[in-house]
Amino acid sequence: MLRLILTLFLISNIAVTEVSATTITLYNKCPHQIWPGLQPTAGKPIIAQGGFNLPSNNAYTLQLPPLWSGRIWARDNCSFDATGHGHCTTGDCGGILSCNGLGGTPPATLAEFTLGNDQDFYDVSLVDGYNLPLTITPLNGNGKCEFAGCVRDLNVMCPMSLQVRSSDMNQVVGCKSACYAFNSPEYCCTGSYGSPQACKPTSYSRIFKLACPKAYSYAFDDPTSIVTCSMANYLVTFCP
Ligand SMILES: *[C@@H]1O[C@H](CO)[C@@H](O)[C@H](O)[C@H]1NC(C)=O
């Protein structure tokens, strides 16, 4: 009898999990339009053709299928022709409007999601650098459903050696991570630095962490930057 009840419970639980897709709303509070990009982890489906235009002060709600994982970022200062080919100053995905599974060129602030049956994991990562402020707010979830994100403007405090400037050189439009800028084991946590014990914060990652304590600043940053939450929907805000 107990086994029967347990089986029924499991079946109903699975059914609930399968019908309740996760809703994610992308909200552009930047004073200018952006082009969000969405890259699924290998083997997961492409959502919204991988990218689209989002005008200032507009929101777009998407359904993520169960167990989806991937990253979401903003592309900035894009221009595309009628066929969807062009270029973005930051976050560009191979010069196409619909990224179709491609990732963005660093530096770009990333919202990372791994949806689970019981628990979702999410974080905002500066491991690939920074282009815009970005936050993740969980809505109506259970558990450790904390805010994640980077609210400050890191471009204005970006060290010279990490800066990405607009083509007229007037403006800092992105801030590279030290790993992306220098590609050395110490900053990328590779080789003999390939463990949390060996790969410590650096003067560069500390700048990111100090400004944005609720974001992942380097590959082996404190795992408290990762949040777990269940049964939630999510709001991703660009320029909160
Ligand atoms: C925006 O893109 C144009 C064309 O590629 C470029 O000339 C300009 O410098 C960019 N502006 C910024 C702020 O990135």
pLDDT tens, position by position, 129-171: 999 999 999 999 998 899 999 999 999 999 999 999 998 888 9
| Residues 176 and 196 reside in one and the same domain | yes
Residue that wins the pLDDT comparison between 16 and 117 = 117
Find the 171 Cα to ligand 1 centroid distance in Å. Answer: 9
What stretches of the chain show up as alpha helix (H) in DSSP?
2-19, 178-182, 185-188, 203-211
* Side-chain-facing half-sphere of 76: CA atoms under 13 Å: 25
| Residues 122 and 162 reside in one and the same domain | no
Pocket lining: 168 vs ligand 1, CB cutoff 6 Å: yes
CA distance 51 to 108: 14
| Residues 59 and 174 reside in one and the same domain | no
Best residue among 79, 131, 132, 166 to mutate for probing ligand 1's pocket (most ligand atoms within 8 Å of CB) is: 166
Domain extent for 133: 2-153+214-238
Residue that wins the pLDDT comparison between 11 and 201 = 201
| Residues 161 and 171 reside in one and the same domain | yes
Q: What mean pLDDT comes out for the span 169-183?
A: 96
Q: Which atom of ligand 1 is nearest to the CA of 87?
A: 5
Quick one: pLDDT at residue 48?
Answer: 97
The number of domains in the chain is: 2
> Tokens 């946590």 identify what position?
189
Contact partners, residue 129, CB within 8 Å, separation at least 6: 106, 107, 108, 109, 162, 164, 174, 175, 176, 177, 180
Q: What angle do CA 98, 104, 109 make, to 5 degrees?
A: 120
| Residues 99 and 26 reside in one and the same domain | yes
Q: Indicate which residue's Cα is closest to atom 11 of ligand 1.
A: 166
